Every structure is written in structure tokens, then in C-alpha cells.
Chain A
């Protein structure tokens, strides 16, 4: 199939527009000096992927991306930025390493390897998106064939919930140096064995 035939289909023009927007937003995510802008550009890239999923007929996955990624994960990232006091504006300390050319070479090699290894198998044959009731079929597959992995993933979420709380909270057994009495920190009186 030539490029003229490919671009002649209206859905491919939609794909091209969404793809260009996604790549531009992704480039902004990895190069922006302002981390809040990077997070908001990640929203654009994820919304583009949700639009691609709608184009492919996978409505449930698309709205799951919108709910879980754009609704929850991005808000979590914004909270993480605020808690770690990352530079919210342009700041003099660079966000990037100085050695970006080796990273660029590695990224180009990864793109060449992935693009060759995945496209070499499938060829440029025309594929048609399924038009059936995909969400119903997906529910059937999820709760019949994949019910054990589904339950396992719920345990993963529970473990992540508990682990996140345990890792991020302050340890109550650990004595806080801000709150300790200065008399107790006196070395002559602190050790009863002397």
C-alpha cells in the first residue's frame, strides 16, 4: 500500500493528527524546564492515547485511561511535585544532565530496534478494527478466562496501598531531633551508665 492510498483514508488523517500531537506532547514532557508543564503535557499525551483507543473501538480501555491516568495518576504526580518542592518555575539548577547526546543516541537506537523488530513481522496489510460489542466481550474475557490474574492484580493494588502508606509515613519510634529536649541531648546527662 502506497502512502497516497494510506493518507487517502480519513481515519488515517485522524491518526496522523493525534500521533503528531502525542509525539509533540511527549517531547515536551521529557524536555520542559517547568515540571508542572511537563505533567500537564503528559495529560495531553495520555488523552491522545485514549483517542487512539476510541478509534480502535476499545471504549472501555479508553475511559479507563481517562479515569485512572488523567484523573488519578496525574493528580498524584502534582501532589508529589508539591511535596518534594521541585522547582515549580524555571530555576537556575538545570533539570537535565549535561550528557544528553549519549541519551539521545540510546533513544534513537531503541527506536530503530523496536520499530524494526515489531514492524518486520506484521507487514503493511490492511487491518480492520472490530465493530462488535467490544466492551461486553472484554467483560466476558476478563471475568471468565482472566479472572485469576484479575484477582491477583487486586492484591497487587492492595499491597501497593499498604506499602505506600508504610513507606511514606514518619516512623513513630524514631526520635525526632526537632522535638527532643535540649537537656536530654546533653552528653553528660544523657547516658545513665556513666
Chain B
């Protein structure tokens, strides 16, 4: 196992998530794509922590922190999406032009 195979897989999944964020119209689907990007970041971090011989296991600890912050982000994000849906009767991000100047 080399570090690079995990890095390339992580880059591939991250770019899939970028494509999903850019192309999806539904806000929940955008959040799904963000989860895909966070999973790609976790793969990179765990590969660093396991394969680079870090005695402090910083990669694993940071992967745990990323998982925790992602859980908080999904909670807040879905609350905002529900609020927007209640006010606008739509969860499509291209119809949210309230703050567009």
C-alpha cells in the first residue's frame, strides 16, 4: 500500500463532490455532495495517520474531529433547509435570490 493510492481516490471522490455541489438544485442533494467531500478528506487523513508513521496519530484524531463537525454541520444545514422550505415552499438553491443584489 502506498500513500498515493489513497490520495488519488480521495481526490477523485472530492471532485465528484465538487461536481455535485455545482450541479445539484435541491439543497439536500447539495448537502449530500458535501458529505461525499468530507468522506474524501477523511480517507486522506486516515491514510496519513496510518502510513506515515506518526506516533501521535494526528491523522486519526483529525478524522474523528472532521466526523464530529460534519455531524454538527448536517444538523444545522438541514435546520436551515427546513426553515427556507417553510418560508419559500421550495428547497431549490437556484430560487434563493433574496440576498442577491
On A, residues with C-beta under 8 Å from B are: 1, 6, 9, 11-12, 15, 19, 22-23, 26-27, 29-30, 35, 38-39, 42, 45-46, 49, 52-53, 55-58, 60-61, 64-65, 68-69, 72-73, 76-77, 79-81, 83-86, 94-97, 100, 102-104, 106-108, 110-111, 114-115, 118-119, 122-130, 134, 137-138, 141-142, 145-146, 149, 153, 156-157, 159-161, 163-165, 167-168, 170
Number of chain B residues close to chain A: CB under 8 A: 72
CA gap between A128 and B73 in the complex, in Å: 34
| Neighbour of B44 across the interface among A60, A118, A142, CB < 8 A | A118
List residues of chain A with CB within 8 A of the CB of B29.
35, 38, 86, 95
- When the two chains form their complex, are residues A29 and B33 in contact, meaning their CB atoms are under 8 A apart? yes
- Docked complex: B67-95 residues within 8 A CB-CB of A: 67-76, 78-83, 85-86, 91, 94
List residues of chain B with CB within 8 A of the CB of A164.
75-76, 78-79
| Neighbour of A22 across the interface among B9, B46, B60, CB < 8 A | B9
Q: Residue among A42, A85, A128, A167 with the most chain B CB within 10 A?
A: A167
- When the two chains form their complex, are residues A42 and B25 in contact, meaning their CB atoms are under 8 A apart? no
